[in-house]
Chains A and B, each alone.
Chain A
Amino acid sequence: MSALLVRQPGLFTTVQDLGRFGAQALGMPVAGAIDPLALRLANALAGNKENEGALEIGFMGPTLEVQADSARIAFVGAVQATIQNGDDAPEKPLATSRSHTLKRGQIVKIGFVSGAAYAYCAVAGGFELPRFMDSLSTYTRAGLGGYNGRKLEAGDVLPVRQAASPKRDLTCAQALPYGDGAIKIVKGPQADYFTDGAFETLLASEYVVTKETDRMGMRLDGPVLAHSKGADIVSDGIATGCIQVPGAGTPIVLLADHQTIGGYPKIATVASADLPRLGQMMPGQRLRFAAIDVAQAETLRRQQEETFKRLLSALAPARPPGGIDVEALGSANLIDGMVDALGRT
C-alpha cells in the first residue's frame, strides 16, 4: 500500500476538499477548505482534479514519512518545509508553491505556517479514504468525513491512491488572486434588524481578528453594531461569509464549518471572492469592510476565477533544486547544444 505516515500531526491538520454540498437540508454543514483557491492550486500542482481531498494545515503542519515507492506532494502557503532522507540525515528546504516527487523513507517536515492561517498539502492521486455524502471534507464537530472525522494524530496512516500523474513536478510562479484592500461585503440578509447607523459603523470602522476564530467562525473586535429590534430571529439559513451579530453586538463572520441555520441576525455577507483572503487572516490582524452590491460581488468572483484559470494554465515544470535535470539537459541540448547541467541559463 502507498501511504503517508503521520509522524507528528501538527496543530490542526484535516483532510478537506471543496465542501459537502446537497445535505444542508439535513443539518449537515458544508465544511471544506477555508481557502479554496489554495486547495485548488495544491491539487493542480500535484496533478489532481481540483476537488480532490488534501491536507489543510492550521498554524503548524505535520511531519510525514513517505511509505510508497514514489509520492508527489505539493505545498501551497507560507510554510518552510524540509526534507530528510531518514532520521539522521540533514534537513534540506523544500520549496512551496510547487510539487516534489519523493521516495520511500523520506521525511517531510512541514513546520509552521507563517503570516497566514492555513497552508495546503496535496498528494498526487489523492487520499484513498471513504467519501461521506460525496465529499472528503472533515467536519470535526460531528466526527464526520476526512480521516476518521478528526484532525490528524501521530501514527495515522494516510493511504494514497495510485494515479498516473504528469512526468514533471510543477511550479507556480504567480501569486493567488486573493484581491486586496477592504474586505467586500454585501448588505443583508437581516440588515433591517439593525439601527440605521450600524451598517455605517461596520463600513467606517477598523476591526481586529480575535483569537476566538476557528473553522466555524471568526469573531471580530471593534465597534459594536446596535440591533433595532432585538438580537433574536426565528432561525434562518446561513451562507458562508454571513456576518452574524449576537446580542453583545460584536460581529462574527461565519466560515466553512458554520451551522446550517442560526437565530442571530446577519447584517451583511462577505463577497465570495474575498472569503479565501479573509479566512487566511490571523488573530491580531486588522481589517476594514467596503460595501458592494450583489452584481458587483458576482463580477468580482468571475474575474477572480478567470485570473485563477490563467494562473493554472501557466503552471510550469519545476527544476529539481540544485540537482541535475536530466530531462531539461536532453531537450535543451537538442535546441541550442549548450546547457548548464544545474539548470541555470
Chain B
Amino acid sequence: MASVSIDNPPLRTLTAGDTAFVVEFGATIDRALNAKVMELHRAIKGASLPGIVETLPTFRSLMVFYDPLTTTRAELEPQVLALAGSRSEQVAAGKLWRLPVCYEGEFAPDLAEVAKRTKLSADRVIALHSGATYFAYVLGFMPGFAYLGGLPNELALPRRKEPRVRVPQNSVAIAGEMTAIYPWESPGGWHLIGRTPIALFDLRREQPILWGAGDEVRFAHVDRATHDGIAAQVAKGSFDHTKLEVRR
C-alpha cells in the first residue's frame, strides 16, 4: 500500500476490492481533514481520469470507484495520489442554508429529556441548537441525510439506548457532536428535538436532494403555524427553495 506524506498525518490508500480504493487522510472528524477530502473529490472530478466511475467523500477519506475493465488500480492510484498532492487555488465554499425548524410539542419528543440530561432549560437547548452554524461533513445513511458537525458541546449526548423503530420524516435530531434531519421516515437512535417543513428530498425539484457535503446550515426557530404554512407550500410544490440559500 502506498503511503505518501504530504501533511500530518500521512495519507494512506486502502484496498476495497477490485472496483474501489480509499484515500484516507486521517481517522478523526476534523474540518481540516475533511477539507482535504473535498479538495481531492473536486480535483478528481475536474481531471476526468479514464476509468473512474465516481468518488465518495466521507468525514476523513475519499472512496474512489473505478471500472476494472477500463483501468487498473496500479495505473489509477498514482494519478489520484498526484492530484492529492497538488493544491488547487480555489477553495470552493459550499452553500449556506437557513432552514426553518419548529421545536414544539409532538415535533420534539426528546426535548425535555435532552434538557434534563444536559441540565439546561428547553429554551436554552433551542437557543443553542438554532444559534450555531453547522457543517455538512458527509451525506449517507440514506439519500440526503447529512451528518452536520458543529453542535454546541453543551448539547453533546450519546445516542438513545433504545433506537426508535420509526422516526418521522423531517425530524431534526442530535447525537454525539452532530445534528441531522431525517429525509424519510426510518429507524433511528438520535434524540428528536424538532421538525423542519422543508423536504430534503423532492423529485419535483431539478436537484431532488437539497444539499451536498461541504455545505453549511443554520436553523431558524419558527412556531407551529409558520411551520405548517411552509409545509403546505412545500406539499403543493409552490415553495421557493432559493429563499433558503443564504449563500450560493
Chain A contact residues, majority secondary structure? mixed
Q: What are the residues of chain B within 8 A of A141 when measuring CB–CB?
A: 142, 186
Cβ B69 vs Cβ A237 within 8 A: no
Cβ B58 vs Cβ A261 within 8 A: yes
Bound Cα distance A69, B74 (Å): 53
Q: How large is the interface on A (under 10, 10 to 19, 20 to 34, 35 or more residues)?
A: 35 or more
Q: What are the residues of chain A within 8 A of B22 when measuring CB–CB?
A: 189, 236-237
**Is the CB of A271 closer than 8 A to any CB of chain B?**
yes
**Is the CB of B223 closer than 8 A to any CB of chain A?**
no
Cβ B14 vs Cβ A189 within 8 A: yes
Residues A237 and B20 in contact in the complex (CB < 8 Å), given A24-B54, A26-B212: yes
Cβ B73 vs Cβ A26 within 8 A: no
Count of chain B residues with Cβ under 8 Å from any Cβ of A? 50
Least CB separation from A149: chain B residue: B203
Q: Which one of A82-90, A118-126, A203-211, A239-247 is at the interface?
A: A239-247
Cβ A27 vs Cβ B73 within 8 A: no
**Is the CB of B184 closer than 8 A to any CB of chain A?**
yes
Q: Which one of A2-10, A41-49, A158-166, A298-306 is at the interface?
A: A298-306
Q: What are the residues of chain B within 8 A of A21 when measuring CB–CB?
A: 53-54, 65
**Is the CB of A28 closer than 8 A to any CB of chain B?**
yes
- For B15, give its contact among A22, A186, A235 (CB under 8 Å): A186
Cβ A239 vs Cβ B19 within 8 A: yes
Interface residues as binary, A240-266 with B (CB distance below 8 Å gives 1, 0 otherwise): 111000000000000000011110001
**Is the CB of B59 closer than 8 A to any CB of chain A?**
yes
A298 to chain B, nearest CB (A): 4
Interface residues as binary, A274-309 with B (CB distance below 8 Å gives 1, 0 otherwise): 000000000000000000001101101110010000
Cβ B14 vs Cβ A234 within 8 A: no
A184-235 with Cβ < 8 A to chain B: 186-190, 233-235
Cβ A237 vs Cβ B139 within 8 A: no
**Is the CB of A270 closer than 8 A to any CB of chain B?**
yes
**Is the CB of A338 closer than 8 A to any CB of chain B?**
no
- For B18, give its contact among A186, A235, A259 (CB under 8 Å): A186
Bound Cα distance A305, B70 (Å): 12
Bound Cα distance A285, B41 (Å): 40
Q: What are the residues of chain B within 8 A of A266 when measuring CB–CB?
A: 16
Bound Cα distance A26, B54 (Å): 12
Q: What are the residues of chain B within 8 A of A300 when measuring CB–CB?
A: 18
Interface residues as binary, B62-77 with A (CB distance below 8 Å gives 1, 0 otherwise): 1101001100111000
**Is the CB of B29 closer than 8 A to any CB of chain A?**
yes
Cβ B55 vs Cβ A242 within 8 A: no
A254 to chain B, nearest CB (A): 11
Least CB separation from B28: chain A residue: A234
- For A294, give its contact among B15, B54, B59, B141 (CB under 8 Å): B15
A residues whose Cβ falls under 8 Å from a Cβ of B: 21-29, 132-133, 139, 141-144, 186-190, 233-242, 259-262, 266, 269-273, 294-295, 297-298, 300-302, 305
Name 17 extra pairs, CB < 8 A, besides A25-B55, A302-B68. Answer: A23-B143, A25-B56, A25-B139, A26-B144, A27-B143, A29-B143, A142-B143, A235-B138, A235-B147, A239-B20, A262-B140, A269-B15, A272-B18, A294-B17, A295-B72, A295-B74, A302-B69
Interchain Cβ contacts under 8 Å between A and B, 9 examples = A23-B54, A25-B213, A234-B60, A237-B61, A269-B17, A297-B17, A298-B18, A298-B72, A301-B69
